[in-house]
Amino acid sequence: MVMEINKVIKSTSNQQVKEWKKLKAKKERVKQNKYVLEGWHLVKEAMQANEIIETLLITPEFKYIDEIELTDEEIEVIEIYPEIAKQLSDTPSPQGIFAIVLIQKELEVNPALVDGAWLLLDRVQDPGNIGTMVRTADAAGFAGVIFGDGSADIYQPKVVRAMQGSQFHIKLISGDLIPWIEAFKEKSYPIFGSELNEKARPYDQVGRHQNFALIMGNEGNGMAKQHLEQTSLNLYIPIKGRAESLNVAVAAGILMFQLHE
């Protein structure tokens, strides 16, 4: 399909530009039901994954314009001036391509969904950590990640950047963790916590599993009590040196690769 530029926007105070800029805030993402995807690699992945792209924004300087193949003729293509790209971008040197992508409907809680390995985020805050954990979950062959209430938002720009396209590979869900934990229980799948307590077991002494949930807690405060009470087993990574703890994304990586069959 030949790509045609449908429109050119030069001014940062254009009304459409203002609406896109608002998508940096979660409230607006929920309202407009869209998020901004930035960079050629990710936009390409979104197209290949048949995501619903509303608009493609391209600066005149964008280098790979000849490589773009529109997968859907309804995608509007708008040329934007570099100043607009700068304002939309999450990085100091934007690549010159953005997609406005529709947010897909959240999956409802359902025990039929929870087969495989799942990562559950219990109020994890740092968007870089969260995005990295999603990317690692993808690499470790996990089925999905559940963003518990109080965790950073799936479509926050820094989360999206760190996920590196893994949102197109595995299921991402947000909401209250408790009903999901109950779904794992209904299937008798183990629920591993990651809080050091007197009953915690070293992470490399519990075998490998095909179906399970792993809960990672908040960077400073760990897991919420109400979730901890629901686990079948708490795991810890023995610290050999003098560091007080591990970065949560590193800890999650070590646990995911160790636990998954």
Q: Does 141 bind a second copy (CB under 8 A)?
A: yes
Q: Does 142 bind a second copy (CB under 8 A)?
A: yes
Find out whether 126 and 158 touch, Cβ atoms under 8 Å: no
Amino acid of residue 63: K
Tokens representing residue 185 in the block: 């229980």
Please, which residue, 92 or 108, has the CB nearer to a second copy? 92
Angle at 254 between CA 253 and CA 257, to 5 degrees: 80
Q: Does 151 bind a second copy (CB under 8 A)?
A: no
Task: Identify which of 226, 127, 134 has the alpha carbon closest to the alpha carbon of residue 172.
Answer: 134
Q: Does 251 bind a second copy (CB under 8 A)?
A: yes
Find out whether 24 and 45 touch, Cβ atoms under 8 Å: no
Q: Does 228 bind a second copy (CB under 8 A)?
A: no
CB of 33 to a second copy, least distance (A): 25
CB of 254 to a second copy, least distance (A): 5
Please, which residue, 55 or 156, has the CB nearer to a second copy? 156
Angle at 203 between CA 119 and CA 178, to 5 degrees: 35
Q: Does 128 bind a second copy (CB under 8 A)?
A: yes
Q: Does 257 bind a second copy (CB under 8 A)?
A: yes
Contact string (CB under 8 A) for a second copy, positions 48-87, x = contact: ----------------------------------------
- Cα end-to-end distance, the chain, whole Å: 43
Point out which span in 6-14, 106-114, 145-153, 232-240 binds a second copy (CB under 8 A).
232-240
The correct pick among 55, 132, 194, 234 for binding a second copy (CB under 8 A) is 132
CB of 13 to a second copy, least distance (A): 27
Please tell me what DSSP assigns to residue 243: -
CB of 208 to a second copy, least distance (A): 11
Task: Please give the Cα distance from 54 to 135 (Å, whole number).
Answer: 25
Task: Please give the Cα distance from 79 to 7 (Å, whole number).
Answer: 6
Q: Does 138 bind a second copy (CB under 8 A)?
A: yes
CB of 36 to a second copy, least distance (A): 21
For 90, half-sphere exposure in the C-beta direction (CA atoms, 13 angstrom radius) is: 21
Q: Does 139 bind a second copy (CB under 8 A)?
A: yes
CB of 200 to a second copy, least distance (A): 16
Find out whether 121 and 145 touch, Cβ atoms under 8 Å: yes
Query: How many residues make contact with a second copy (CB under 8 A)?
Result: 33
Task: Please give the Cα distance from 42 to 92 (Å, whole number).
Answer: 17
Task: Identify which of 147, 137, 126, 146 has the alpha carbon closest to the alpha carbon of residue 169.
Answer: 137
Which parts of this chain interact with a second copy (CB under 8 A)? Answer: 128, 132, 135-142, 162, 164-166, 169-170, 237, 239-247, 249-251, 253-254, 257, 260
